[in-house]
């Protein structure tokens, strides 16, 4: 096996998330949040990857395309189903274990049958004041088709049983910011907390909802629908990109059901009624589960005991940046590397705000992929436009599951005077670029100030994601950025770049050339090694090139958070390659590459992963690090992560997510904690 299947590798990644949920050394409520992440990941896998496998498996004809690892879709499907079934059972077991441990810590999950009289009264009042106005019961009648049930919501299947017949209804559980999934109850005992699902408050009040019907008993069981997230755009040239995206979003919401996840205690007649009404016929589309679903909501579990949460250190100011002084002046003198979440993203917002009011700043150009819901970045761009700057934003409408948000961002920016550009349908812009151009005193020309990042301009996630952002005024890099922004507006032109490494036209050959150089140096017995950190490694051509490097004697160390199709540690193939993955309190999202270069090491940061889509079908941007101090920081960063023997796993056959072994007496190393201390030491 030279190539490991991408889908199986992705499921292995989610198993690592589940390991954190099961790890007794992780704070208890934080383990709940990891369960929520695992649930969210699994749903996305079903919407995207599993739906794709099912489409291929249903393909009519003799030639069935091969997936990574050499599987056909029909061959892969039972393997994926089995892995998902094991994961589902493990999820339920882990949930039950954590609930028991929480109760021992004074946090009790209760349902509607376990409430005191006072709590029952409180829940009824809560239902009437907060929940009931948001609910519309849907009666299931034989002669009436069921209305559309959206993906991403939770439903209760209600059965009203009478002596001769039963009635059925569906209730959508109205989870929102003002109506949370988890409700903290008045406690019966000092120092103890009790929490109830919103589902169970509704169960408590079923009689109040269906009072107009006669029945002997009434029950409700949870279910959810996971739909195919395939997104298609029509080819009507008369429509704008926003109009096509909006139509595509409507169609995706009505995508075919891939899975019906339901409470396994649901009576057969209720299940049959729902499946018949939804047109679900195959047993492979049914997934029995526990009493509760849509457990991604665990990511927002209430903070009832801060001591049972993972403490998050405050992000630091960069030692070179004084928030009371000009950031542009700093960048003019030297390059600056921001490392999130250890450094504050506020520096980028302050830079935008400074540019918005600086009378010498003339233009601001920026790529936007995912932004915060109440984005300070967007507000700064609007401020700049209002102050007469020429502001251009490339808003990527095709950012998966953020399409609706980005359509709204487009409208907001356009209404505020910002020029908005969208990519072509077949080309997604994933680069993270900001270019500010300023008329310098006495020069008569514009000088550029450039930000090249690995993560989104999103202040909500920079406190949770590990990422890099380089601030530079290097004239060659700035000139490349001008060419790149021109390309984004005129995609028929393919400019050449002298500093930036850009896909889809130039990044793959550049990476291949770097690896070839290490191979050449290894054969000459010169220093030859590669250290890489990416989210995913699935591109087969790049994997084969790394195998070639390994056979030539190049030492390859890779930190891959998610899917990895490279099979490491195989003698004669990949014996010189080792792959590790770190899952911890921050999501490892940064991408970097460091090579020996014959004894004169070089380093890069990039927005791209080692995936075919990133190298061939997206606009990505990376930049070589020329400042030796910043290069040293990246080397130290990688070394600290490679030394992690607490949260790092080995990614190699038999693919069991084994922890990096710790020798007897060896000191424990947790890289995210040590990185914080590393950057903290630079500020003192």
Q: What's the CA gap between 15 and 654, in Å, rounded?
A: 14
Q: Are residues 582 and 622 in the same domain?
A: yes
Q: Are residues 594 and 471 in the same domain?
A: no
CB crowding 381-400: b at 16 or more within 10 Å, else e:
bbbbbeeebebbbbbbbbbe
Q: What's the CA gap between 421 and 183, in Å, rounded?
A: 43
| Range with lowest mean pLDDT among 143-157, 585-599, 661-675 | 143-157
315 domain-assigned: no
Q: Are residues 10 and 116 in the same domain?
A: no
Q: By the 8 A CB rule, do 558 and 578 touch?
A: yes
Give the residue from 263, 286, 302 where a domain finishes: 302
Helix orientation angle between 403-415 and 241-253, rounded to the nearest 10 degrees: 150
| CATH number of the domain within which 211 lies | 3.30.1840.10
pLDDT score for 237: 41
Q: Are residues 293 and 375 in the same domain?
A: no
Both tokens of 16, joined, read: 């690592």
Long-range contacts of 242-250 (CB under 8 A, 24+ apart): 242/397, 242/407, 242/410, 242/411, 242/422, 244/425, 245/397, 245/398, 245/403, 245/407, 246/407, 248/403, 249/403, 249/404, 249/407
pLDDT score for 404: 81
Q: What's the CA gap between 447 and 479, in Å, rounded?
A: 10
In 10 A of CB 9, how many CB atoms? 24
pLDDT score for 34: 97
312 domain-assigned: no
pLDDT in tens, 362-372: 999 999 999 99
pLDDT exceeds cutoff 90 at 443:
no
Q: Are residues 274 and 372 in the same domain?
A: no
452 domain-assigned: yes
107-110/257-263 β-pairing: unpaired
DSSP-derived secondary structure for 446-468:
EEEEEEEESS-S-TTTTTTEEEE
| Range with lowest mean pLDDT among 39-53, 60-74, 204-218 | 60-74
List, in order, residues 6 or more apart from 108 with CB less than 8 Å away.
102, 192, 193, 194, 195
CA dihedral over 436, 439, 441, 442, signed as positive or negative: positive
Q: What's the CA gap between 493 and 486, in Å, rounded?
A: 9
Cis peptide bond N-terminal to 80, omega within 30: no
Q: Are residues 566 and 677 in the same domain?
A: yes
Q: Are residues 48 and 187 in the same domain?
A: no
3-state secondary structure of 680: helix
Give the residue from 498, 533, 557 where a domain finishes: 498
| CATH number of the domain within which 664 lies | 3.30.870.10
Q: Are residues 663 and 554 in the same domain?
A: yes
Which entry of 343, 430, 589, 669 is annotated as an active-site residue?
Answer: 430
pLDDT in tens, 267-322: 999 999 888 888 887 767 888 888 999 999 999 999 998 899 988 889 999 999 99
pLDDT score for 254: 55
Cis peptide bond N-terminal to 504, omega within 30: yes
Both tokens of 138, joined, read: 């849907």
Q: Are residues 510 and 588 in the same domain?
A: yes
Q: Are residues 271 and 167 in the same domain?
A: yes
Number of domains in the chain: 4
Give the residue from 86, 105, 124 where a domain finishes: 105
Phi, psi of 226 (to 5 degrees): -110, 120
Q: What's the CA gap between 451 and 160, in Å, rounded?
A: 61
Beta bridge partners of 659: 649
pLDDT in tens, 315-363: 999 999 998 999 999 999 999 999 999 999 999 999 999 999 999 999 9
pLDDT in tens, 489-542: 886 678 899 999 999 999 999 999 999 999 999 999 999 999 999 999 999 999
pLDDT in tens, 534-591: 999 999 999 999 999 999 999 999 999 999 999 999 999 999 999 999 999 999 999 9
Q: Are residues 568 and 625 in the same domain?
A: yes
| CATH number of the domain within which 22 lies | 1.20.58.310
Q: Specify the higher pLDDT residue, 171 or 64.
A: 171
- Cα-only R_g, the chain: 27
Q: Catalytic: 494?
A: no
Q: How far is CA 51 from the centre of its chain?
A: 19
Q: How far is CA 587 from the centre of its chain?
A: 9
pLDDT score for 330: 97
Confidence of residue 444 (pLDDT cuts 50, 70, 90): confident
pLDDT in tens, 624-675: 999 999 999 999 999 999 999 999 999 999 999 999 999 888 999 999 999 9
116 domain-assigned: yes
Q: Are residues 51 and 153 in the same domain?
A: no
pLDDT in tens, 464-488: 999 999 999 999 999 999 999 999 9
322 domain-assigned: no
Q: What percent of the chain has pLDDT over 70?
A: 94
| Range with lowest mean pLDDT among 98-112, 117-131, 238-252, 447-461 | 238-252
pLDDT in tens, 228-281: 877 554 444 445 545 544 444 444 455 678 889 999 999 999 999 888 888 887
pLDDT exceeds cutoff 50 at 111:
yes
318 domain-assigned: no
| Range with lowest mean pLDDT among 143-157, 175-189, 612-626 | 143-157
181 domain-assigned: yes
Nearest by Cα to 656 from 98, 37, 41, 19: 19
Domain span at 468: 327-498
Beta bridge partners of 419: 392
pLDDT score for 283: 65
Confidence of residue 403 (pLDDT cuts 50, 70, 90): confident
Average pLDDT over residues 5-13: 96
Q: What is the 3-state secondary structure (H, E, C) of 479-544?
A: HHHHHHHHHHHCCCCCCCCCCCEEECCCHHHHHHHHHHHHHHHHHCCCCCEEEEEECCECCHHHHH
pLDDT score for 504: 93
Q: By the 8 A CB rule, do 564 and 4 touch?
A: yes
Q: What's the CA gap between 42 and 295, in Å, rounded?
A: 10
311 domain-assigned: no
Q: What is the 3-state secondary structure (H, E, C) of 86-135?
A: HHHHHHHHHHHHHHHHHHHCCEEEECCCCCCHHHHHHHHHHHHHHHHHHC
């Amino acid at each position: 096996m030279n190539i490991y299947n991408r889908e199986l590798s992705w499921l292995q990644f989610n198993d690592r998330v589940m390991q954190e949920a099961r790890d007794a050394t992780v704070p208890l409520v934080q383990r709940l949040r990891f369960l929520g992440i695992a649930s969210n990941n699994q749903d996305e896998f079903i919407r995207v990857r599993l739906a794709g496998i099912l489409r291929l498996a249903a393909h009519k004809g003799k030639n069935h395309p091969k997936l990574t690892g050499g599987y056909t879709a029909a061959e892969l499907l039972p393997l994926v189903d089995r892995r998902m079934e094991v994961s589902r059972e493990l999820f339920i077991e882990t949930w039950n274990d954590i609930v028991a441990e929480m109760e021992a810590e004074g946090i009790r999950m209760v349902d509607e049958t376990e409430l005191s009289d006072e709590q029952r009264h409180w829940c009824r009042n809560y239902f009437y004041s907060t929940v009931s106005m948001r609910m519309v019961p849907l009666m299931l009648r034989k002669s009436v088709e069921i209305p559309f049930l959206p993906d991403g919501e939770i439903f209760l299947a209600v059965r009203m049983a009478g002596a001769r017949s039963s009635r059925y209804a569906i209730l959508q559980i109205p989870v929102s910011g003002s109506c949370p999934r988890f409700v903290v109850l008045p406690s019966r005992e000092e120092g103890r907390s009790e929490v109830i699902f919103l589902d169970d408050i509704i169960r408590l009040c079923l009689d109040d909802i269906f009072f107009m019907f006669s029945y002997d008993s009434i029950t409700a069981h949870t279910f959810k629908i996971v739909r195919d997230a395939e997104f298609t755009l029509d080819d009507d040239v008369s429509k704008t990109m926003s109009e096509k995206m909006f139509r595509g979003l409507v169609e995706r919401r009505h995508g075919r059901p891939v899975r019906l996840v339901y409470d396994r205690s649901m009576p057969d007649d209720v299940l049959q009624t729902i499946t018949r009404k939804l047109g679900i016929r195959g047993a492979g589309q049914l997934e029995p589960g526990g009493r509760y679903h849509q457990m991604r909501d665990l990511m927002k579990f209430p903070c009832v005991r801060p001591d049972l949460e993972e403490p998050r250190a405050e992000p630091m100011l960069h030692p070179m940046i004084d928030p009371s002084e000009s950031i542009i002046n700093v960048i003019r003198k030297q390059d600056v590397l921001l490392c999130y979440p250890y450094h504050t993203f506020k520096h980028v917002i302050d830079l935008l705000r400074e540019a918005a009011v600086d009378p010498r700043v003339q233009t601001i150009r920026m790529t936007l992929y995912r932004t915060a819901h109440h984005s300070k970045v967007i507000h700064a761009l609007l401020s700049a436009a209002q102050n007469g700057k020429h502001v251009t934003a490339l808003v990527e409408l095709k950012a998966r599951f953020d399409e609706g948000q980005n359509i709204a961002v487009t409208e907001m920016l356009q209404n505020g005077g910002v020029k908005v550009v969208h990519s072509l349908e077949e080309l997604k812009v994933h680069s993270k670029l900001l270019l500010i151009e300023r008329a310098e005193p006495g020069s008569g020309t514009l000088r550029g100030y450039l930000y090249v990042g690995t993560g989104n301009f999103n202040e909500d996630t920079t406190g949770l994601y590990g990422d890099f952002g380089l601030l530079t005024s290097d004239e060659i890099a700035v000139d490349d950025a001008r060419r790149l922004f021109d390309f984004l507006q005129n995609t028929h032109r393919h400019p050449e770049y002298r500093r930036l490494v850009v896909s889809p036209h130039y990044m793959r050959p550049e990476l291949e050339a770097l690896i070839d150089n290490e191979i050449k140096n290894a054969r000459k017995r010169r220093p030859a090694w590669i250290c890489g950190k990416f989210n995913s490694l699935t591109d087969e051509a790049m994997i084969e090139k790394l195998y070639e490097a390994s056979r030539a004697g190049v030492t390859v160390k890779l930190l891959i958070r998610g899917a990895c199709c490279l099979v490491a540690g195989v003698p004669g193939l990949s014996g010189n390659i080792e792959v590790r993955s770190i899952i911890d309190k921050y999501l490892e999202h940064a991408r970097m590459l460091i090579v020996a270069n014959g004894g004169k090491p070089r380093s890069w940061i990039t927005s791209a992963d080692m995936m075919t889509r990133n190298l061939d079908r997206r606009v990505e941007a990376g930049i070589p690090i020329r400042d030796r101090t910043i290069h040293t920081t990246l080397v130290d960063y990688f070394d600290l992560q490679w030394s992690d023997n607490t949260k790092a796993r080995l990614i190699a056959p038999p693919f069991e997510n084994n922890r990096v072994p710790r020798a007897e007496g060896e000191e424990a190393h947790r890289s995210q904690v040590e990185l914080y201390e590393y950057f903290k030491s630079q500020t003192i």
